[in-house]
Amino acid sequence: MNNGGAPGRIALIGIALLGSVCSVGASRKPVEKTKAVDAGIFAISVNGQPVATETFRIEQGSAASTLTSEFKSESGEKTVQKAELQVTSTGDLRHYEWHQLSPDKAQIVVEPADGIIVEHITPAPPAHPLQQPFVLPSSTMVLDDYFFSQREVLLWRYLAQSCADGKLEGCHPQRLQFGILSPQQHAALLVTLEYAGPETVKVGDSERKLNRFNLQTEQDAPWALYLDQDLKLVRIVIPSEKTEVVRQ
């Protein structure tokens, strides 16, 4: 896991992140060099019992970045899902793909098109493919189910818009709202982010002083998200679902 780099530089990726890496159709051009700005594994537990993991990697290039994730359940019916988020250097959505590999195969592709965003949905057979248009700008963030690393990206954007150079030190971010798309829910939502201040919390077997943020959608109870001093997402608590997400 790459933990290097100044917090300000990391947070500013919230504006540029997330630029997509080279487009698929540009195979004849030199491949843009990228570097990892974060990578790791989130362990997900419910009622104190481990149920799943998310393995993720965020890479940044000079013009673009990409976030790739893999979700695996560890209990009950085994579920494997993968996601890839690509965003232009100006922060606009370029491409998003979600794949379920088991127990059934399904796919969602999200792309901006002529001033709207379109979901191309390929559900598990025998259902037929369909399209779902959304009247949303290309600046809309993607927050999909089970992919908690996408919340880290949203926090970086929040800090980049709220604080000078994206640095939390000496900054008191105000509450902001963001329009987001939840592909697996096939829904456009409004989320609110608010900085709650530093808090000493137990992470694993040790106590750490982290920065708490409250995230709330229109229809759900608040989540508590915790960033460390390097602006890396360390912990998420979802009280209404008795769920905790911790970086390993």
Q: pLDDT for 210-241, tens place per residue?
A: 999 999 988 788 999 999 999 999 999 999 99
Is residue 10 pLDDT above 90, yes or no? no
Please determine, for residue 20, whether its predicted confidence score (pLDDT) is greater than 50.
no
Distance CA 40, CA 22 (A): 23
Contact in structure between 19 and 65 (CB atoms under 8 Å): yes
Residue 207: inside a domain:
yes
Domain count, the chain: 1
Q: Would you give the end-to-end CA distance of the chain in angstroms?
A: 10
Report the pLDDT value the prediction gives residue 209, as an integer from 0 to 100.
96
| Interhelix angle 149-162/7-16, nearest 10 degrees | 100
Instruction: Tell me which amino acid residue 116 is.
Output: I
Distance CA 58, CA 56 (A): 7
Cα–Cα nearest to 138, from 107, 95, 99, 101 = 95
CA distance 144 to 114: 23
Residue showing tokens 């911790």: 246
User: Does residue 3 register a pLDDT over 50?
Assistant: no
- The length of the chain is 248
In which domain, by residue range, is 144 found?
A: 7-247
At 211, list the tokens.
Answer: 């920065």
* DSSP label of 1: -
Residue 230 contacts residue 36 (beta carbons within 8 Å)? no
How many Cβ atoms are within 10 Å of 68's Cβ, its own excluded? 19
* Position 22 confidence tier, pLDDT thresholds 50, 70, 90: very low
Judged by DSSP in three states, 188 sits in strand
pLDDT of amino acid 136: 96
Give this prediction's pTM: 0.86
**Residue 46 buriedness (CB in 10 A; 0-12 / 13-18 / 19+):** middle
pLDDT digits (tens, 9 = 90+) for 74-118: 877 899 999 999 988 878 899 999 999 999 999 999 999 989 999
| pLDDT the model gives residue 204 | 82
| Averaged pLDDT for residues 154-167 | 90
